[in-house]
Structure 1
Amino acid sequence: MGKLFLGSDKSGFELKEAIKAYLIENKYDFDDIGTLDVENAYPYYEVAEKGAKALQRGEYERGILICGTGMGMSIVSNKHEGVHGAACESVFAAEKCRAINDANVLCMGGWLIGPVMGVAMTDTFLNTEFTQNLEDWRAANLRRFKVAVLEIEKKSFNK
């Protein structure tokens, strides 16, 4: 696993801190891109843009973004070519966003997800690879679909 980024706004701060403790304990290589304290919180769109641009530059392999619902972080991160943010609310969704969609940013909601669930989702997201544990026929289809989706993305961003 390559280097990660972890970021939140004020609404995601508590969950971010729980995930940060898990990442430290498990010796992941990561940067906390903010919010660093709730008194000086960054808006969700600034944190998401910062992480997405760094991912585009190749500074990180994956990222985790947390706001109130996870949706704002997902929307902003997906405005950047090559960044695929998935708003997830379960371990199952965190697994499938990697195995099926090869998402590179896990977006979660601090209002929706408690620390234990958030850590479990993070662990699953970080330890699942594209097409992992899928039937051969499904994995083959998903590899073809990924190429098609990347073509759609390329056309969208390079008008």
Structure 2
Amino acid sequence: MKIAIGADEAGFTLKESIKDFLLERQSDVTDFGLMDGSQMIDYPDVGFAVAEEIAKGKFERGILICGTGIGMTITADKVPGIRAALCHDTYSAERAVRSNNAQVLTMGARVIGPELAKHVVRAWLDATFDQGNSARKVQKIMDGERRHQAAGGYQPEINSCSTTQD
């Protein structure tokens, strides 16, 4: 599996640990992050670089790490076609793929330790996307994304309920 990985300086050490773990699993890993823990880079620069390459089909999946994982998640999810999931437990990591077909896993180096992070990555990599209802829902996400881009805003398929106060 071709995997892109990247981190800002806050996630550098965890990224290196996860990269070693991936190489032990004989994954094809390309590092988009810092090569030296003393350097600095803004997480959006790394997050966009990884997510865009996945959206182009150059990588099957990506892992992004910053201090909390939140900034990387928000950044990657801005790239059309990308579904990034912030996971710090194995159940969420598995469901991110099985239910949402998430191609990007994000984690916070200040939130999760390296051993648990390896278990989370393993659960995410070993999971496969369930078809059935999950496929229908993910398709709705992708269709909504396309409508949003084309119309300049989200256009729901059904009328939403509204409440008025008198």
SS of alignment partner, residue 97 of structure 1: helix
Using the alignment, how far apart are the partners of 2:112 and 2:51 within structure 1? Answer: 22
The aligned amino acid for 1:148 is K
Corresponding residue number in structure 2 for 1:155: 147
1:24, 1:140 → 2: CA distance?
33
The aligned residue for residue 162 of structure 2 is: none
Q: What is residue 161 of structure 2 aligned with on the other side?
A: none
What amino acid is aligned across from residue 136 of structure 2 in structure 1?
Answer: R
After superposition, the C-alpha distances for 1:98-131 in whole angstroms (9 at most, x for unaligned) are 1111100000000001000111111111110112
DSSP 3-state at the match of 1:75: helix
SS in 2 for 1:63: strand
Matched with 2:75 is 76
Question: 2: CA distance between counterparts of 1:36 and 1:158?
Answer: 39
- Please say if residues 13 and 37 of structure 2, whose CA atoms lie closer than 8 Å, have aligned partners that are also in contact: no
Secondary structure class of the residue paired with 1:107: strand
Aligned to 2:29: 30
Q: What amino acid maps onto 2:100 in structure 1? A: N
Q: Which residue number corresponds to residue 96 of structure 2?
A: 97
- The reply to whether residue 46 of structure 1 matches residue 84 of structure 2 is no
Give the alignment's TM-score, normalised by structure 1. 0.91
- Equivalent pairs, count: 151
Unaligned runs of 5+ in 2: 152-166
Percent identity over the alignment?
35
CA–CA separation in structure 1 for the residues paired with 2:150 and 2:10: 34
> For 1:55 and 1:36, how far apart are their aligned partners in 2?
21
Query: Taking structure 2 as the reference length, what is the TM-score of the superposition?
Result: 0.87
Deviation at 1:14, TM superposition (A): 1.2
Q: 2:38 aligns to what SS in structure 1?
A: helix
Higher RCO (C-alpha 8 Å, min separation 6): 1
Q: Which residue of 2 aligns with 1:111?
A: 110
Consecutive unaligned residues of structure 1, counting only runs of 5 or more, are 132-138
Taking the aligned partners of 2:40 and 2:148, their CA distance within structure 1 comes to: 32
Deviating 4+ runs (over 6 angstroms)? none
Q: CA deviation at 1:41?
A: 2.5
- Give the letter for the 1:93 counterpart: S
Q: Distance in 2 between matches of 1:36 and 1:42?
A: 11
